Each structure stands twice: as structure tokens, then as C-alpha cells.
């Protein structure tokens, strides 16, 4: 069981930046895949970024590529999401999550397995 706790959400004007943090505790079972997904009101969940914290291979959804950057701090078992050039379309609850792991290929999938309580990000125009 993994416990995840996000922090750092808030409100910002379009074009601004926010940084999210996530601390992880518990037993990951050797799964190195962590990242973020979001859910906007009335919309389906959308994965945002997934990182293999071992190889550091990181993938981003097209909607955030070039604007968002995921990173990790292995010593603190934490992952971060730096969000720049925010637009109102980025308004959502952001969740830190573990993702499924294809160990034979050392590749992360896009299915979330555990997630935190979420943190609200609001971008005004």
C-alpha cells in the first residue's frame, strides 16, 4: 500500500506558474512509476505526466508538453510538477499517483494504481 500526499495547488492568472509536490510513503513493491493526472469539472480524468523514477524516463501528455516538467527527489521519496505558462484549460484537481509498471521492459504505463487526495489548481483568464 502506498500513501501519497500532494501540496502546492492554488490560484494563478493565465501565463503564471505553479509547482506541485508529492510525498510518498509505504511499500511500492519495486514500482518506480510515479506521476500526475488531473480532472477538470465535467471532464474525464487525464494523465499529465508519468516518470520512471529509476531510469528517469518521463512522458507528458500533449496538452502540457513543453510547459510542465516533472522531477523527483529520491532521498525524500518525493516527486514534483512544475507548471509554467498556465492557461484556464489547466484548471483541475491534480492528483499524484503511482502508475502501472511493465517490469520486463522497465516501462511505465498510463493506468494509475494509487493516488492522493488531490490539490486544486485554478487558472483565471
**CA nearest 116: which of 35, 5, 1, 7?**
5
The pLDDT profile of the chain, 125 residues, written as one tens digit per residue, is 889 999 999 999 999 999 999 999 887 778 899 999 999 999 999 999 999 998 989 999 999 999 999 999 877 789 999 999 999 999 999 999 999 999 999 999 999 999 999 999 999 99
Q: Which residues of 48-82 are buried (b: 16+ CB within 10 A; e: fewer)?
A: bbbbbbeeeebbbbeebeeebebebeeeeebbbbe
Give the model's pLDDT for residue 76. 77
Spatial separation of the C-alpha atoms in residues 86 and 1, rounded to whole Å? 33
Q: Which residues of 10-20 are buried (b: 16+ CB within 10 A; e: fewer)?
A: eebeeeeebeb
Amino acid at each position: 500500500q502506498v500513501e501519497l500526499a500532494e501540496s502546492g495547488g492554488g490560484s494563478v492568472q493565465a501565463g503564471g506558474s505553479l509547482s506541485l509536490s508529492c510525498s510518498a510513503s509505504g511499500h511500492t513493491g519495486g514500482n518506480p512509476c510515479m506521476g500526475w493526472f488531473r480532472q477538470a469539472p465535467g471532464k474525464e480524468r487525464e494523465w499529465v505526466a508519468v516518470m520512471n523514477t529509476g531510469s528517469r524516463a518521463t512522458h507528458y501528455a500533449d496538452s502540457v508538453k513543453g510547459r510542465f516538467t516533472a522531477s523527483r527527489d529520491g532521498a525524500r521519496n518525493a516527486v514534483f510538477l512544475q507548471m509554467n505558462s498556465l492557461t484556464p484549460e489547466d484548471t483541475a484537481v491534480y492528483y499524484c499517483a503511482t502508475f502501472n509498471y511493465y517490469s520486463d521492459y522497465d516501462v511505465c504505463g498510463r493506468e494509475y494504481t494509487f493516488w492522493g487526495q488531490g490539490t486544486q489548481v485554478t487558472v483565471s483568464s
